[in-house]
Chain A
Amino acid sequence: MSHLIGHYNYWIVIFLMMAGLYVVIAQGNLVKKIVGLNIFQASVYILFISMAKVEGGTAPIIVEGTTLYSNPLPHVLILTAIVVGVATTALALALVVRINSAYSSVEEDEIHEQDQSF
């Protein structure tokens, strides 16, 4: 029972991750796949940051009088990950725009048909 109370937030975040992964795998529209990928990435960030929280601690900025801070190392990792994620999204969307101007569609099965009919 203490497992349930201590871990239930991780399980909810894992459900969010799996929903994002489902959108990437199973949906056919390219723009919706990129949205699903971003949702998956944001859920991973939530998982990491919730592992960094310390009960009774504050934000990791040194002020007089407090001694217990949250763990700053996952914050640094996720900061880098967020910025790299947006760079990847920008490149992916530029590719989608070029695909649209070449095939005049962003649905995955229509693009496959046009490729195989050459």
Chain B
Amino acid sequence: MYTPIQPFNLVLRIAAKMLIPLILMFALYVQFHGEYGPGGGFQAGVIFAAAFILYALVFGMAAARAVATETVLRVLAALGVLLYCGVGLAAVFAGGNFLDYNVLARDGVSGQHLGIMLVEFGIGITVASVMIMIFYAFAERGVTR
């Protein structure tokens, strides 16, 4: 499944192996610190997808498809939207309006924290999986089978 190591590819592979975990951790940092500094769901999703695109560029499309299969990506993309709507509906079931985070926890402020964190997580999942899906579609287009 992995392409054999060739000398002119070696520097790329080693540099990518060192960089990809750092990029993934930075994406998680941006995702969960979006409330205290610049960041949030959209930026984190795009950076997460950039790590996967780097992996696909250096190690080949077959290796990338083994990690992030198409079915998993489609399920995750729908799951993010479902999470957002689910948080809104949970607020309705708890007695408030749609997307009213005040009723999700004991008091208003912690309810807002919980609501914002869940909503941004849903945004991050959907954006990351949609960007990787678009990359797969464009990259596989020129290949004749």
A and B touch in the complex (CB under 8 A): yes
Binding site for B on A (CB under 8 A): 59, 61, 79, 83, 90, 93-94, 97
Give the residues in chain A near B72, CB-CB below 8 Å. Answer: none
Could you tell me if A61 and B134 are in contact, using CB atoms closer than 8 angstroms?
no
Min CB distance, A64 to chain B, in Å? 13
Number of A-B contacts (CB under 8 A): 13
Per the bound structure, the CA–CA distance linking A102 and B107 in Å amounts to 59
Q: Does B106 contact A (CB under 8 A)?
A: no
Q: Does B4 contact A (CB under 8 A)?
A: no
Contact of A94 among B36, B37, B127, B137 (CB under 8 A): B137
Could you tell me if B134 and A97 are in contact, using CB atoms closer than 8 angstroms?
no
* Shortest Cβ distance from B41 into A: residue: A83
Given known A-B contacts A90-B134, A94-B137, A97-B141, A79 and B38 have beta carbons under 8 A apart: no
Give the residues in chain A near B137, CB-CB below 8 Å. Answer: 94
Min CB distance, A57 to chain B, in Å? 16
Contact of A83 among B42, B134, B141 (CB under 8 A): B42
* Shortest Cβ distance from A87 into B: residue: B130
* Shortest Cβ distance from A80 into B: residue: B42
Per the bound structure, the CA–CA distance linking A61 and B34 in Å amounts to 11
Per the bound structure, the CA–CA distance linking A97 and B141 in Å amounts to 9
Min CB distance, A61 to chain B, in Å? 6
Give the residues in chain B near A79, CB-CB below 8 Å. Answer: 42
Could you tell me if A61 and B38 are in contact, using CB atoms closer than 8 angstroms?
yes
Per the bound structure, the CA–CA distance linking A77 and B38 in Å amounts to 16
Q: Which of B37, B42, B127 has the most chain A CB within a 10 Å cutoff? A: B42
**Among all A-B residue pairs, the 5 with the closest Cβ atoms:** A90-B134, A83-B42, A97-B141, A61-B37, A79-B42
